[in-house]
């Protein structure tokens, strides 16, 4: 699902208790993410408005290290911020530097129903913040200047119109 699809602006619903359906959705999301390839994906990016996120920061030549976050939330963010270049599978081939808190504490449940609270920094902190934004209908372009954001939106609106005409 790509910008400007309005579903990307939905606020996703809590997953609640993990079911076979949740596990199937997580498996689908991991497939989509690895196919892309990308390092993170939120369920709404495949059209499902549930608070489910998958992440894998392993490099191409490293073993896969998938993490599934059920109903994740950020419980603390550092004052210090860092800038990192971000991209998004829903905004293909568009990259911009985004400033966010450098460190976070976050809480989530695993597919086994275990409750976890951890700290993250660096690229993991960036990735988790980016994905939790998706659960709230926020995309990384929303953190850019108004000018950059509207340019990006226009570019993708134009591409969507062209695709519709070609179809």
Binding interface with Ni ion (CB under 5 A): 88
What phi-psi label fits residue 78: left (phi over 0), alpha (psi between -120 and 50 degrees) or beta? beta
Active site residue 112: no
Q: What is the DSSP string of 93-129?
A: EEEEEEEEESEEEEEEE-TT--EEEEEEEHHHHHHHH
Shortest separation between residue 112's beta carbon and Ni ion, angstroms: 26
Which string of DSSP letters, residue by residue, matches 19-76? -HHHHHHHHHHHHHHHHTT-SEEEGGGGT--BSEEEE----TTSPP--EEEEEEEEEE
Which CB, 18 or 88, lies closer to Ni ion? 88
- Cβ distance to Ni ion smaller for residue 22 or 129: 129
Q: Which of 131, 157, 163, 165 is catalytic?
A: 131
Q: How far is the CB of 20 from Ni ion (least distance, A)?
A: 26
Q: Contact at 8 Å (CB) between 104 and 77?
A: yes
Position closest to Ni ion via CB? 88
In the bound complex, what is the minimum distance in angstroms from residue 3's beta carbon to Ni ion? 10
Catalytic residue list:
131
């Amino acid at each position: 699902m790509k910008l400007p699809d309005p579903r990307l602006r939905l606020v996703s619903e809590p997953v609640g208790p993990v079911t076979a359906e949740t596990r199937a959705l997580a498996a689908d999301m991991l497939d989509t993410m690895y196919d892309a390839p990308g390092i993170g994906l939120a369920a709404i990016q495949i059209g499902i408005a549930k608070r489910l996120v998958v992440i894998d920061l392993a490099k191409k030549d490293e073993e896969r290290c998938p993490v599934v976050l059920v109903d994740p939330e950020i419980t603390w963010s550092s004052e210090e911020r860092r800038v990192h270049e971000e991209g998004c599978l829903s905004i293909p081939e568009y990259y911009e530097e985004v400033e966010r808190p450098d460190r976070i504490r976050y809480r989530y449940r695993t597919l086994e129903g275990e409750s976890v609270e951890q700290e993250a920094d660096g690229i993991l902190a960036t990735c988790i913040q980016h994905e939790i934004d998706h659960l709230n209908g926020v995309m990384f372009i929303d953190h850019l200047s108004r000018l950059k954001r509207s340019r990006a939106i226009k570019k993708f609106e134009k591409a969507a119109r062209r695709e519709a005409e070609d179809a």
